[in-house]
Amino acid sequence: QSVLTQPPSVSGAPGQRVTISCTGSSSNIGAGYDVHWYQQLPGTAPKLLIYGNNNRPSGVPDRFSGSKSGTSASLAITGLQAEDEADYYCQSYDSSLSGVFGGGTKLTVL
Amino acid sequence: EVQLVESGGGLVKPGGSLRLSCAASGFTFSSYSMNWVRQAPGKGLEWVSSTSSSSSYIYYADSVKGRFTISRDNAKNSLYLQMNSLRAEDTAVYYCAKCSTTTCPPGGFDYWGQGTLVTVSS
């Protein structure tokens, strides 16, 4: 059971918009810790996709965006492409300064 | 170019020990907190441990506390994870990951190694 809750799967057709939610609590996201998002393609290491709630590292397309409100965060992907099919994870910290991850969401591009 | 290269994984019997290493290059290693993150086969990511740049602050997941020890050698640009009393549930790919800021929190993990597989089985 992961500390942060994500839907196990989401799907969308090419060109569509999908969102992935990440729900925490007052001891992690709600305590003010930033949320970060990672993309993991099959057989590869995770890649930082969004940092500090809503910032994109250089090279990440602006189709990806993040937001945070209260004890939750969301990742939005617009203009869905086949190459976006991957697992997505949210990550934050808890009050003991331990890292916490969501259980991951598998994105399927139909 | 930032590179993180893990080594030391392998097959070990329950109750055994293993030491993982992560060789870092391409950035000022001594300035950043570093982490170990693992992923069991077919499962999600699990944060394992972190160390601040000078090893002053060290944190562990409850699942490994008392069994695993994180350490670093800034002179050798290397991160380590000593794993004792290994259990079947410790079977996973272990990644080392660099904090995107000098400390974590608040930063995320901006660079990851390729991972090293640890299998705990009799």
Shortest Cα–Cα distance, B74 to chain A (Å): 22
Residue A46 is predicted with a pLDDT of 98
Please report, to the nearest 10 degrees, the dihedral formed by the alpha carbons of residues A66, A67, A72, A74 taken in order.
-40
Interface check B107 vs A, CB under 8 A: yes
Mean pLDDT of A82-102: 96
Residue A1: pLDDT band by 50, 70, 90 thresholds?
confident
Shortest Cα–Cα distance, A16 to chain B (Å): 26
**What is the SS3 assignment for A34?**
coil
Could you read off the pLDDT of A28-78 as tens digits, one per residue? 999 999 999 999 999 999 999 999 999 999 999 999 999 999 999 999 999
Tell me the chain A residues in contact with residue B37 when contact means C-beta distances shorter than 8 Å: 46, 99, 101
Mean pLDDT over each residue of chain B, to the nearest integer: 97
> Are B47 and A57 within 8 A, CB to CB?
no
Question: What's the token pair of residue A44?
Answer: 């590869």
> Are A46 and B45 within 8 A, CB to CB?
yes
Residue A69 is predicted with a pLDDT of 96
Name B8's Cβ contacts closer than 8 Å, sequence gap at least 6.
Answer: B18, B19, B20, B21, B116
| Residue among A21, A34, A26 at smallest CA distance from A93 | A34
Query: Residue A84: pLDDT above 90?
Result: yes
Nearest to A97 among B44, B59, B107 (CB): B59
Could you read off the pLDDT of B36-51 as tens digits, one per residue? 999 999 999 999 999 9
Within 10 angstroms of residue B10's Cβ, the number of other Cβ atoms is 11
Could you read off the pLDDT of B63-96 as tens digits, one per residue? 999 999 999 999 999 999 999 999 999 999 999 9
The β-bridge partners of A43 are none
**Which residue, chain included where needed, has tokens 């601040």?**
B52
